Amino acid sequence: MPTMAAEFLELETQIGRRFREDSVTDILIASLLKIGGSNATVFTPPEAHTGGDFDLVIYRPATGNGVQYRIQAKRVVPNATHWEWSSYRELDHPHGQGKQSSTLVRSSAQESIPTIPLYAFYNPLRVCAASNNQIDGIQLADGRAVNVIVRALVKAKADGKRPRWKRVEYLQHLFFPLATILCPPADSPDTGASIIQPEVSREAVLAKIKERQTARRGIEDAPPRLTFKAERHLSAEKVVIDDDGRASVPRTPALRSVPKVIERAIERGPEKPSIQLARIKRPKLVLLSR
């Protein structure tokens, strides 16, 4: 999927038309729906203001475990000279106020199902190639860490400054692959399953977030970073740090009450359509893990 997204964005140079994030997101959701088959359902959430482009839910009816990723997508504007200078210009949307990013984090904390806010950064093939494949067509990042940078951008703008923190070089240390959500580790009992178990997915994502937060950047004018002492719980769950600095994540607890959108996905029989229409344009994709 990351390669497909990169190649799709690269086509705009040939047809003279700039693709928006929505175009790549539609392809991504269609691909996920294809992978999930009869165990995948696309809904649109009832909330009109989530701060995300789409929600991805992985739920296991047999155990009642589930995890939700609320994802906001941004595409890069390539720099012809240096790939590191390519910029996610709409990072502080709307109008440099950054409200979208704050809404993403805030709405995720209010969900009944454990929800992790993420950014999906879309990159065309020429940027990926120029980086010697250091970055892919789709890169994920911790939504809370990005929100710290966005709030700093808004403050800098109010002070009459224009830092370059929207560039790839300033955000790259936060990137981790899309496969982290969907692909079980090689030693996981999930290997070979069509859909990863939610607790395995969640542990992998939180571990990757922790790893990327400690990555060295080596840039003098780097943006502020999320510190672990100031970290808020991710839907009432902590990353536990032992005395040796190793991170561990508690197993995802069974949900006390199953959100209605998941109930509808479970109740949907094979004769009903996987894609259900609604009034708003923020899709929610539910993957049922067996």
Q: Is the model more confident about 130 or about 218?
A: 130
Rounded Cα distance, 183 and 265, in Å: 22
Identity of the amino acid at 167: R
87-94: long-range pairs with CB below 8 Å, 24+: 87/164, 87/166, 87/167, 87/168, 88/121, 88/166, 88/168, 88/171, 89/166, 91/146, 91/149, 91/150, 91/153, 91/165, 91/166, 92/150, 92/153, 92/154, 92/157, 92/166
Q: Grade residue 281 by pLDDT with cuts at 50, 70 and 90.
A: low
What residues does 40 pair with on adjacent strands?
287
pLDDT higher than 50, residue 56: yes
H or E element that contains 287: strand 284-288
Three-state SS at 167: strand
Q: What is the pLDDT of residue 230?
A: 41
User: What is the rounded end-to-end Cα distance, in angstroms, of the chain?
Assistant: 23
Q: Is the model more confident about 283 or about 46?
A: 283
pLDDT higher than 70, residue 210: yes
Mean of the pLDDT values across residues 163-180? Answer: 94
Closest by CA to 200, choosing from 265, 289, 111, 109, is 289
Task: State the chain's mean pLDDT as an integer.
Answer: 81
pLDDT higher than 90, residue 82: yes
Rounded Cα distance, 168 and 152, in Å: 17
- Confirm if 31 and 165 have CB atoms less than 8 A apart: no
pLDDT higher than 80, residue 228: no
pLDDT higher than 90, residue 16: no
The rounded Cα 257 to chain-centroid distance in angstroms is 24
Q: Grade residue 88 by pLDDT with cuts at 50, 70 and 90.
A: very high
Q: Is the model more confident about 45 or about 56?
A: 56
- Confirm if 87 and 77 have CB atoms less than 8 A apart: yes
pTM: 0.82
Q: Grade residue 90 by pLDDT with cuts at 50, 70 and 90.
A: very high
Mean of the pLDDT values across residues 17-27? Answer: 85
Can you spell out the DSSP letters for 227-283?
-GGGPPPBTTB--EE-TTS-EE-PPPPPPSS--HHHHHHHH--TTS-SB---SSS--
pLDDT higher than 90, residue 71: yes
H or E element that contains 115: strand 115-122
Q: What are phi and psi of 149, to 5 degrees?
A: -70, -40
Number of H helices, E strands in the chain: 10, 9
Q: What is the pLDDT of residue 47?
A: 43
Beta strands 115-122; 65-75: pairing state? parallel
Rounded Cα distance, 261 and 54, in Å: 14
Structural domain total, the chain? 1
Mean of the pLDDT values across residues 192-206? Answer: 85
> What does the CA dihedral 49, 54, 60, 66 come to, rounded to 10 degrees?
-50
Domain around 85: 2-288
